[in-house]
Structure 1
């Protein structure tokens, strides 16, 4: 979401990092570029003005720590202001009430309310160990009720049925009574959206709010709408006592303006951010981590949390033990690693969270994406168990059969086998004494000249 903003800010801040002293003159041009970068990211103008002014006041004549150069101190100040603009810290969902805790989802049509409701149910079940019921009060959009029922099954949450003959308030009251009867911890109520804010919509959701008295009223906003997202959130906030925001579709072609504008304009915290279409693609919104990613500093904590949630720990431990004992790295292991990488959002999704990997992440996106990982899996799947176990037996006639079996070009089969060989060599280095340093040297050898550009062992596929 923040690729363009990251690139522009990194370029702007590089010009001041070598300065011996921060003065109004030598930061003026940098601040102008920072301002343009934020405007291009569709950040609301009042937010941009306040941000630049705060950075300017903090930078000029600031006491600089001995551990930091003046330029580094300026970058740190920009990071602190980014964190402040987005809310300072994460605010988790509030469930401190007599069960069932009721969560009301609000927002425009197409913002992703229904999917976000299911994602939130999954989060509450897995992370908070709560029993959750979902209900749809959208009696206007065709198949909205059925869509939520399907998603509820996917996340293994209970679903309260409703139909188009009922009013939204009747549905909400009946669902609340059933959630109490079945002793559910949480009831999530999905509401109808409109293409634009209108009086009838607001009156309806106000009536539902009055009937339910929810502990959380979450506004779901499409990150791709930029500063308009903040303005829409403000309109809802004036009509409803919102408690937080879910920023959806942050994995799309969003410029980051919504994330930097919503909190400042509404005063309401962004609690979650949707980073994909699947029901596990919901992350708690941490302003400090997002600020680090915007400035190209990575987000290692989120990467670790992703790994804890999504990776198969048993397979990972088995693989680590195998490598450490020098037992080799066959194509079954290679396929397992590809599948683990896909669960983590692919190569680009992982690199995006590593410090200093912003531009490499873009290169990775163009070379290795989910489709290419899928093609690699298909090639390995087209092999016999013996071929996957002993890749050296794969001769030209076997390669031809494998290519025909998976519908991929013969040259792609050759590329995959070559990449596997490179990975095998790296794993051998890793299993020896001083293995980590040897493996890093091996990876360095796979990089093209120029220091840091290009790809690890996965070439264009």
Structure 2
């Protein structure tokens, strides 16, 4: 997501930096290109007009034009305006006050409400909350069963509702049960329609009147662009939502919904869905998103993802193994699986600063998810002894590993070659290690090198 917009904006800013000195004419020409880029990204027309007017007013100010690096100053202005447009700062859920906190998930059919309800329950459970899932969609076939299955996967309790009950009764009874059982967060998954209608809105308003709601989260498919924004505005008018969850943000949507919804509805984006897995729900950070749009990466999110999957004790053990040059194929497999837990390679690469410039180079390496899966399958097909000591893997064993992993002998050889090259690099780095003495850094004496 945002890839095309990022490419277009980087092209505009490259031209600006090419000018030794900026004039009002340079900036106005650049803003016309930015305007076109935003419209092509399906951003609301009125939002684009106001954004361009605000950026232009600040960019032609004396401070920018008189700056030694005016091109960079314009980028700074655009970044700040993007952050404002996206909501300024992350908006947390309202979890204080009387318990249990009740969250209602609303939206059209197919937007991903049920899966998002489960993802939110998982996120809250990780933060020490006691969520209680409530299936209140009595119209869609298997909707209730789907939430029960997801709850079982997450080990999160699910209210035992049925299609014979009304959604209002389900909500009321579920909140009463949560109070008795000591659950502190009730998440109500409501029904959707293919379009906004009186019956849908009336039902949601009845639930809102029957139970004390802390949050009403509108779940929208980011792929639907301005349609999602229009529907969010309608829900907000009739129901007064408290926030938005944008799903399918990992797809190839142009980004218009994310850039328009806060300005149009006045309500913040609180979460974004970035994949199909139950762990693929993230808190929305306007500043980090603006940074990614401008090709600056998102290092903070990358660090947070790494911290979630890497245990500190295990990381220290791994560091010791690398220092002692005993990094085995099992260690290699563990690191591959940690990378998989962090998300798709495409998603991780998008967080790396300057990655868009790398993509533009000829023969630039592209993230290859299939190769990682093949590598994992090959190592998993090895015995414990083989993973501990790769030197015992002879021709016969290689044939067996290839057959067991559904790959070829050449691919097994490639994995082993990559692994041995990695070992050589680690050994080389050890040879260049430094030790600290009396606050000074110096190379290891030759006699201490291995």
Distance 1:172 1:38, change over 3 A: same
Q: Which residue of 2 aligns with 1:49?
A: 49
Specify the SS of the correspondent of 1:159: coil
Report the alpha carbon displacement of residue 359 of structure 1 after superposing the two structures with TM. Answer: 5.0
Q: How does 1:218-367 map to 2 (within 5 A)?
A: 218-323=217-322, 325-360=323-358, 367=366
Q: Which residue of 2 aligns with 1:141?
A: 140
> Deviation per CA, 1:398-423, whole angstroms, max 9, x where unpaired?
32222112111222112212221232
- Are the counterparts in 2 of residues 352 and 361 from structure 1 also a CA contact under 8 Å? no
Q: Distance in 1 between matches of 2:252 and 2:364?
A: 13
Q: Which residue of 1 aligns with 2:75?
A: 75
Q: Which residue of 2 aligns with 1:440?
A: none
Q: Which residue of 2 aligns with 1:167?
A: 166
Distance 1:110 1:361, change over 3 A: farther
Q: Would you say how many aligned residue pairs link Structure 1 and Structure 2? A: 433
Specify the SS of the correspondent of 1:103: strand
Report the alpha carbon displacement of residue 67 of structure 1 after superposing the two structures with TM. Answer: 8.4
Q: How does 1:21-36 map to 2 (within 5 A)?
A: 21-36=21-36
Specify the SS of the correspondent of 1:160: coil
Q: Distance in 2 between matches of 1:43 and 1:378?
A: 43
TM-score (norm 1): 0.89
Q: Distance in 2 between matches of 1:21 and 1:228?
A: 41
- Are the counterparts in 1 of residues 218 and 244 from structure 2 also a CA contact under 8 Å? yes
Q: Which residue of 2 aligns with 1:371?
A: 370
Q: Distance in 2 between matches of 1:424 and 1:66?
A: 53
Distance 1:102 1:65, change over 3 A: farther
Q: Which residue of 1 aligns with 2:447?
A: none
More deviation in 200-209 or 30-39? 30-39
> Deviation per CA, 1:276-322, whole angstroms, max 9, x where unpaired?
11111111101000000111111111111111222243332211121
Distance 1:161 1:312, change over 3 A: same
- Are the counterparts in 1 of residues 250 and 347 from structure 2 also a CA contact under 8 Å? no
- Are the counterparts in 2 of residues 347 and 365 from structure 1 also a CA contact under 8 Å? no
Q: Distance in 1 between matches of 2:364 and 2:18?
A: 31
- Are the counterparts in 2 of residues 292 and 299 from structure 1 also a CA contact under 8 Å? yes
Q: Distance in 2 between matches of 1:429 and 1:4?
A: 41
Aligned-residue RMSD, C-alpha: 2.1
Report the alpha carbon displacement of residue 336 of structure 1 after superposing the two structures with TM. Answer: 1.2
Report the alpha carbon displacement of residue 68 of structure 1 after superposing the two structures with TM. Answer: 6.2
Specify the SS of the correspondent of 1:392: helix
Specify the SS of the correspondent of 1:141: coil
- Are the counterparts in 2 of residues 136 and 145 from structure 1 also a CA contact under 8 Å? yes
Report the alpha carbon displacement of residue 431 of structure 1 after superposing the two structures with TM. Answer: 3.0
Specify the SS of the correspondent of 1:273: strand
More deviation in 341-350 or 250-259? 341-350
Report the alpha carbon displacement of residue 65 of structure 1 after superposing the two structures with TM. Answer: 9.9
Report the alpha carbon displacement of residue 245 of structure 1 after superposing the two structures with TM. Answer: 0.6
- Are the counterparts in 2 of residues 100 and 184 from structure 1 also a CA contact under 8 Å? yes
Q: How does 1:426-441 map to 2 (within 5 A)?
A: 426-434=425-433
Report the alpha carbon displacement of residue 29 of structure 1 after superposing the two structures with TM. Answer: 2.5
> Deviation per CA, 1:240-270, whole angstroms, max 9, x where unpaired?
1111111111111211111101101100000
Specify the SS of the correspondent of 2:428: helix
CA radius of gyration, larger in = 2
Specify the SS of the correspondent of 2:63: coil
Report the alpha carbon displacement of residue 47 of structure 1 after superposing the two structures with TM. Answer: 1.2
Distance 1:377 1:51, change over 3 A: same
Q: Which residue of 2 aligns with 1:96?
A: 96
> Deviation per CA, 1:86-122, whole angstroms, max 9, x where unpaired?
1111110011220011101100111111111111111
Q: Distance in 1 between matches of 2:201 and 2:342?
A: 39
- Are the counterparts in 2 of residues 342 and 370 from structure 1 also a CA contact under 8 Å? no
Q: Which residue of 1 aligns with 2:445?
A: none
| Uncovered stretches (5+) of structure 1, i.e. residues with no partner | 436-461
Specify the SS of the correspondent of 1:253: coil
Specify the SS of the correspondent of 1:91: coil
Q: Distance in 2 between matches of 1:362 and 1:99?
A: 52
Specify the SS of the correspondent of 1:102: strand
- Are the counterparts in 2 of residues 348 and 362 from structure 1 also a CA contact under 8 Å? no
TM-score (norm 2): 0.91
Q: Distance in 1 between matches of 2:65 and 2:117?
A: 46
Q: Distance in 1 between matches of 2:344 and 2:316?
A: 20
More deviation in 386-395 or 39-48? 386-395
